[in-house]
Amino acid sequence: MMRKYGLGADNVVDARIVDATGRILDRAAMGEDLFWAIRGGGGGSFGIILWWKLNLVPVPETVTVLQLLRHWNKLPELGLTRKDCIETTWIGSVLYIAGYPTGTKPEVLLEGKSTFKSYFKAKSDFVKAPIPETGLNGFWRRFMHEETALTIWTPYGGMMSKISESEIPFPHRKGTIFMIQYLSSWGDGDKYAEKHIDWIRKLYNYMTPYVSKFPRETYVNYRDLDLGMNKKLSNTSNFITSSVWGYNYFKKNFYRLLLVKTRVDPDNLFRHEQSIPPLPFRKKVKG
């Protein structure tokens, strides 16, 4: 649907947040700069989001479907049969994608936590030019080396190309053909983590010539701590470190996000490994 209507964040018309001083603010009270920042800029960097108000759109007759590939021992190309398929409800598909065993009751989702432990490492890329056949062949060979591999290729274009890169913090717009997510998962804790993480990093390095450059764009919702982390509370240290991954996630919008953060949360109350930090000269920044 985003090829027809844009992102969910593109269709947000109001929100309510709790800011760093404890105030509850809607769009009018928070102002347009903060409202801009929380739509695709990592809302958790600026406050606690209580709710979103969105424009509702009709489901189009033609729906774009993303391409999802898992590692299979035997690919059912040209031989897909009814027994290879699972018919389920939408809520059943949520359970299936989350990795719950077949037959799990939907009520398990009400428990608020998973009944089993699973681990994964994900990375992402944006593709600006068609990948040549040789590149795809190399990708596929490497993909098949990982038993728990998953990749999702999401097509862009349409409305995504018509909306300006600066309309909201999400900048991956005109010129993007599709987005790739790479993922490896495992269910046995840290015992084999190094093997899976090493595989996905090598695949990511292999794809370097075929994806966006300067910066190598990355999707913030597939948070990739390989790009860097805020390790200290020093605003200067955080700013220098965050500039690396911040530009990958937000391109030039990152600098506007810094200014908004500095104004609304100068003491960095809302923070995590890759949150937007305030600038070290915050006293000079005026709202």
Q: Is 222 a catalytic residue?
A: yes
Query: By the 8 A CB rule, do 202 and 169 touch?
Result: no
Counting every residue, how long is the chain?
287
Helices (H), 61-123: 90-97
H or E element that contains 268: none
DSSP 165-231: TTSSS----TT--EEEEEEEEESSTTSSHHHHHHHHHHHHHHTGGGS--SS----TTS--GGG----
Helix (H, G, I), strand (E, B) or coil at 115: coil
The secondary structure of 130-149, three-state, reads CCCHHHHHHHHHHHCCCCCE
Query: By the 8 A CB rule, do 249 and 123 touch?
Result: no
Cα four-point dihedral sign 210, 212, 216, 220:
negative
Which letter does DSSP use for residue 233 in this model?
S
Q: Output Rg (C-alpha) for the chain, integer angstroms.
A: 21
234 φ/ψ angles, rounded to the nearest 5 degrees: -65, 125
Cα four-point dihedral sign 240, 174, 150, 143:
negative
What gap in Å lies between CA 186 and CA 188, rounded to an integer?
A: 6
| The pair of three-digit structure tokens given for residue 14, joined into one six-digit string | 């109001």
Q: Which position among 182, 222, 247, 249 bears the catalytic label?
A: 222
**Active site members:** 222
